[in-house]
Amino acid sequence: MMASGMPGAILICGGCIAMRFHSVSRRTLLQFAGLAALPLGVPSRAAQAAASTLTIAYNVNLPSFDPTVGASAVNPTIQSIYQAIFDPYIGQAADLSFKPGLLTKWGWNEDRSKVTMELRQGATWHDGSPVTPEDVVWSLTRAADPKGGNPIQFVWSKINNYKIDGHTITADVVEFEPVLFKWMAFLTGYVLPKAYYEKVGAEGFEKAPIGSGPYKVDAFERNAFLRLKSHPGYWGPKPAFETVVFKFVTDPTSRVAEIESGGSDLTFEIPYEEFDRLKNKPGLVGQTKPVSDIGMIFLTDIDPMLDRNVRLAANHAIDKKAIVDRLLHGYGVPIATLEAPGYVAFDPAIKVAYDPELAKSLLAKSGYSPQKPVKFTIQTTRGFKPKDYEMIQAIAGMWRKVGIEANIEVYEIAQHYELRARHALAPAAFYNWGNAIGDPTTSTGFAMFAPSPHSAWKGKDLVERIGPLWGEKDEAKRIAGWKAVDKYIADEGEVIPLLQYVQPILHKKTVKVPPQANGMILPQLITPA
Amino acid sequence: MRWSGFLRRLVLIPPTLVGVGIIVFVLLRVVPGDPIAMMIPPGASADDITRLRALYGLDQPLLSQFVTWSGQMLLGDFGRSISLHQRVLELVTARLPATLELALLAVLIALALGVLIALAGVYVRGRRAEWLVDAAIGFFLAIPDFLWALILLLVLGVLLPWLPISGRIDPQRDVTFATHFDLLESLATFRLDVAADLLRHMLLPALALALPFAALVARLLKAQLAEAEDQDYAQIARTRGFSRATILTREVFPNALIPTVALSGVQITLLLGGTVLVERIFSYEGIGNMAIDAVINRDFPLIQGLILTFALLFIALNLVVDGLVALLDPRLHHG
């Protein structure tokens, strides 16, 4: 077990075994007797410490502490833990808007050739040393290093040549990246301690990480739990709970059992049926909020999706509201584009109506009918997202009625990533797309722009429309441009947006959990009720 | 087993492991799923993917990757986990003891339960109660370990919340260990409150693993006991006035034990395999739980290290069981 404040981390108790043999007291013998009967029902230490401790049954394991390197750095579900320990450069409010974090001011100069950032004064690392501008510059430089292993390196490399003046940092813009500062609130956008990291190295940091966030690491048992203690020198509001325990309970049934047995104060990402059952149970509260994650079907530009009639028919034949109401118990918001409500480029005027008759007539134009259906494969995960497989089954049923025969193929999420990167997905493939910063570049942009390894649609039509928007310096013009692209995609049916997910959170009545649109469960914001 | 046979088995271990290594290495790269694809963020270009692939050595030809990996393995270096950023050997040695302790507890529970049920079953042989024992054995055997895990979780964790349902130890407890054998170490150092806490956390997963195994032991041992009880030596003992209970425990039981031990060896390897799902359900931090994450993340070095560890464990267990059978069976002493 890794314990608090001990650089080097794994505590060695050499000699403990030998030293303790000599003193077998009466108390020890009594303990032995008690051991045989296992103290069932005796309140655990967790129960005794409950008043000052918040226990969260968390849905994923924490693979690594460094929030800037490797696969875990780009895993959105782990960011809640990272944001409890590390400070992002820029904070994010509950509605996806941005607020000061370690940086209190940030921005571009007039011609977008320089950026300026102002570091908060008085912030400290968990070891008590101050957070300095040198830490910020080192973190950004390290993130931009192609050999550093930062998966978002291509964003951080857009600025260089840093200069420090007091608490103000300036840098030159290598290439204008409109969402640079938005990235500073999300994936890999964390400030790490230069001096400490250089002293302990990468492996030392993994064993005893320190950040400047509201909580510091107190104990970590891989695949079991992470225990945090509040950071007394934190620059922001003092967290209400002195101790936070993240129990890594990856199985949904086990998470339900955790909250039902009282073993945890809070859990989330549980089946909607269980959520409905438990939210009315005495002592528990259920809350839901649409989050920045959508369900969608990628269409690959291969036969038969090259036929516009087939694409549009596939879109119009899906009754998204029925799917949300019947399969997801109402926990979802039907969407028409890859921009969900709350994203900056969301346009409620863009609609894709459920119209099976229109779908039939479109298919008829291409020579298809329910008797002579167009046939293709649709790939989906099963159990990766709530009701993913069931949704695709329902959609296949709706398609069948209008003249589309879809063969369902189940794959693992790892296969999806690999196939998508190789542009080898089936003509249709279900996926979910998170966009915690709510910008169109990180939804429509990366999902539909041909040069992106994430896009399934490689048509030149979109390259021509999206290309100029990457470097657009006028923000209003940029957002209007993305809305136009979304409208075009909807008119052409080049992707099938399905729904915005709603996150079910279940917690004890004794705690108050402010929901976040980015889906994060931030312990620093949770308070006793 | 003779010394020569034992030595021959020892000599065969390295080529077996090499074979397992080759199969695992090739299979991992043939099945769909790419660790780099798992970590490509939105916006990454083809160059970014190439850069990441090179960073983890996955840009090299398959043969070159295998030569590098085998070379490292020969030096005792299992490589570095792609998802956990730590040495595979360090990760495996830190987590393996948790699985071994869990498996040991499960085996002890299974043997104790199995032997008791078998003895009880033979004792009531021919009576109506035997039907009850057989039905109980059938019931325990019919339900697989992961289903037992869910049943125990719901009954003893939720309905009657008597035992903790996640982790290996209370997260509020501040405790340090010199080894990773937390339970054995706490018992050896008389930190019995810690040992009790560890046992409380281990009991449900251990029971889930133990119940089907216990049923199997009971079924086999009961049949062996019944057969042995009909042998001449048992009948003679009875005519000499020994009680049935004495004959069963002192005369019949040792003879019936040998095939049970042999089969148990095979079953323990299956039980170890069962820890993967059971550890996941109870969020127990053993290598089984870690293996699932490794597979999800396509963490090639970690999967390779874990499978080799499992292979080594199975080989070692089979050796121990064969040794034990040889020790228990007098016929083999004079082979």
User: Between vectors from CA A190 to CA A184 and to CA A191, what angle results, nearest 5°?
Assistant: 115
More confident residue, A486 or A459: A486
Q: What residues contact residue B50 under an 8 Å CB cut-off, 6+ apart?
A: B59
Name every chain A residue with its beta carbon within 8 A of the beta carbon of B108: none
More confident residue, A51 or A239: A239
Backbone angles phi, psi at A520, to 5 degrees: -80, 145
pLDDT category of residue B233 using cuts at 50, 70 and 90: confident
pLDDT category of residue A28 using cuts at 50, 70 and 90: very low
pLDDT at B64 over 60: yes
Residue of B53, B99, B165, B279 to mutate for A, most A C-beta atoms under 10 A: B165
Tell me the pLDDT tens digit for each residue of A490-527: 999 999 999 999 999 999 999 999 999 999 999 999 99
CA distance B237 to chain A (A): 36
- What pLDDT was estimated at residue B316? 87
Q: Does B199 touch chain A (CB under 8 A)?
A: yes
Name every chain B residue with its beta carbon within 8 A of the beta carbon of A70: 39, 82-83, 85
- What pLDDT was estimated at residue A43? 44
pLDDT at B323 over 90: no
- What pLDDT was estimated at residue B68? 87
Residue A131 zone, left/alpha/beta (φ > 0; ψ -120 to 50; rest): beta
Backbone angles phi, psi at B212, to 5 degrees: -65, -35
Other beta carbons within 10 Å of A113 = 11
Q: Do A151 and B153 touch (CB under 8 A)?
A: no
CA distance A16 to chain B (A): 7
Q: Do B190 and A31 touch (CB under 8 A)?
A: yes
Q: Does B168 touch chain A (CB under 8 A)?
A: yes
Name every chain B residue with its beta carbon within 8 A of the beta carbon of A439: none
Its pTM stands at 0.84
Tell me the pLDDT tens digit for each residue of B310-320: 898 888 888 88
pLDDT category of residue A369 using cuts at 50, 70 and 90: very high
Prediction ipTM score: 0.80
Residue A310: strand, helix, or coil: helix
pLDDT at A39 over 70: no
CA distance B97 to chain A (A): 13
More confident residue, A28 or A80: A80
Q: Do B32 and A411 touch (CB under 8 A)?
A: yes
CA distance B223 to chain A (A): 31
pLDDT at A243 over 70: yes
Q: Do A63 and B177 touch (CB under 8 A)?
A: no
Nearest CA in chain A to B157: A261
Q: Do A446 and B42 touch (CB under 8 A)?
A: yes
Name every chain B residue with its beta carbon within 8 A of the beta carbon of A249: 166, 283
Q: Which one, of B83, B10, B281, B153, lies nearest residue A62 by Cα?
A: B83
- What pLDDT was estimated at residue B196? 96
Q: Do A46 and B172 touch (CB under 8 A)?
A: yes
Name every chain B residue with its beta carbon within 8 A of the beta carbon of A245: 171-172
Angstrom distance (rounded) from CA A412 to CA A409 = 10
Tell me the pLDDT tens digit for each residue of A179-202: 999 999 989 999 999 999 999 999
Cα B290 off chain centre by: 14
Q: How many CA atoms lie within 13 A of A278 on its CB side?
A: 29
Tell me the pLDDT tens digit for each residue of A261-280: 999 999 998 999 999 999 99
A340 DSSP 8-state letter: P
Residue of A413, A417, A441, A442 to mutate for B, most B C-beta atoms under 10 A: A417
E strand or H helix at A421: helix A413-421
Q: What residues contact residue A488 under an 8 Å CB cut-off, 6+ apart?
A: A461, A462, A465
pLDDT at A247 over 80: yes
Q: Do A21 and B168 touch (CB under 8 A)?
A: no
Q: Is B127 exposed, middle or buried (CB count within 10 Å of its CB: 0-12, 13-18, 19+)? A: exposed
pLDDT category of residue A8 using cuts at 50, 70 and 90: very low
Residue A188: strand, helix, or coil: coil
Name every chain B residue with its beta carbon within 8 A of the beta carbon of A183: none
Angstrom distance (rounded) from CA A323 to CA A329 = 9
Q: Kindly report which listed range (A107-111, A451-455, B103-107, B284-288) carries the lowest average pLDDT score.
A: A451-455
The mean pLDDT value for A303-328 works out to 96
Name every chain B residue with its beta carbon within 8 A of the beta carbon of A221: 167-169, 171, 285
The mean pLDDT value for A67-95 works out to 91
More confident residue, A65 or B70: A65
Residue of B80, B283, B296 to mutate for A, most A C-beta atoms under 10 A: B283
More confident residue, A426 or B264: A426
Q: What residues contact residue A343 under an 8 Å CB cut-off, 6+ apart?
A: A96, A292, A435, A438, A439, A440, A443
Nearest CA in chain B to A62: B84
Q: Kindly report which listed range (A107-121, A360-374, B57-71, B130-144) carries the lowest average pLDDT score.
A: B57-71
Cis preceding-peptide flag for B41 (omega within 30 of 0) = no
Q: Do B293 and A206 touch (CB under 8 A)?
A: no
C-beta of residue A451 within 8 angstroms of C-beta of residue A489: no
CA distance B245 to chain A (A): 26
The mean pLDDT value for A421-427 works out to 90
CA distance A359 to chain B (A): 32
Among B158, B189, B293, select the one facing A17 at the smallest CB separation: B189
C-beta of residue A495 within 8 angstroms of C-beta of residue A489: yes
Q: Do A71 and B83 touch (CB under 8 A)?
A: yes
Name every chain B residue with its beta carbon within 8 A of the beta carbon of A49: 172
Name every chain B residue with its beta carbon within 8 A of the beta carbon of A153: 48, 51
CA distance B35 to chain A (A): 8
Buried b (16+ CB within 10 A) or exposed e, A426-449: bbbbbbbbbbbbbbbbbbbbbbbb
Name every chain A residue with its beta carbon within 8 A of the beta carbon of B285: 221-224
Tell me the pLDDT tens digit for each residue of B21-54: 888 888 888 777 777 777 776 667 777 778 778 8
pLDDT at A85 over 50: yes
pLDDT at B251 over 70: yes
Q: Does B85 touch chain A (CB under 8 A)?
A: yes
Nearest CA in chain B to A414: B33
Q: In percent, how much of chain B has pLDDT > 90?
A: 41
pLDDT at A126 over 50: yes
Q: Do B177 and A13 touch (CB under 8 A)?
A: yes
CA distance B279 to chain A (A): 10
- What pLDDT was estimated at residue B331? 64
Nearest CA in chain B to A157: B48
Nearest CA in chain A to B159: A261
Nearest CA in chain B to A48: B172
Among B44, B197, B283, select the one facing A453 at the smallest CB separation: B44
Name every chain A residue with its beta carbon within 8 A of the beta carbon of B169: 221, 224
Name every chain A residue with its beta carbon within 8 A of the beta carbon of B44: 151, 154, 452-454
The mean pLDDT value for B114-123 works out to 91
pLDDT category of residue A24 using cuts at 50, 70 and 90: very low
Residue of B29, B36, B38 to mutate for A, most A C-beta atoms under 10 A: B38
Tell me the pLDDT tens digit for each residue of A86-103: 999 999 999 999 999 999
Q: Give me the residue label for tokens 């693992």.
A: A412
Give the B window 19-78 contacts with A, CB below 8 Å.
32-46, 48-49, 51-52, 55
Q: What residues contact residue A413 under an 8 Å CB cut-off, 6+ apart?
A: A381, A384, B296
More confident residue, A29 or A212: A212
The mean pLDDT value for A16-25 works out to 38
Q: Do A441 and B175 touch (CB under 8 A)?
A: no
pLDDT at B272 over 50: yes
What is the distance in angstroms between the CA of the first residue and the CA of the last residue of chain B? 8
CA distance A467 to chain B (A): 13
- What pLDDT was estimated at residue B238? 81
**Tokens standing for B268?**
């323990």
Among A46, A247, A418, select the one facing B37 at the smallest CB separation: A418
CA distance B135 to chain A (A): 29
Q: Do B191 and A20 touch (CB under 8 A)?
A: yes
Q: What is the DSSP string of B16-85?
A: HHHHHHHHHHHHHHHSS--HHHHTPPTT--HHHHHHHHHHTTTTS-HHHHHHHHHHHHHTT---B-TTT-
- What pLDDT was estimated at residue B2? 64
Q: Give me the residue label for tokens 């040198």.
A: A134
Q: In percent, how much of chain B has pLDDT > 70?
A: 96
Mean pLDDT over all residues of chain A?
A: 89
Among A38, A72, A447, select the one facing B196 at the smallest CB separation: A38
Q: Do B165 and A28 touch (CB under 8 A)?
A: no
Tell me the pLDDT tens digit for each residue of A317-355: 999 999 999 999 999 999 999 999 999 999 999 999 999
Q: Give me the residue label for tokens 């950026």.
A: A115
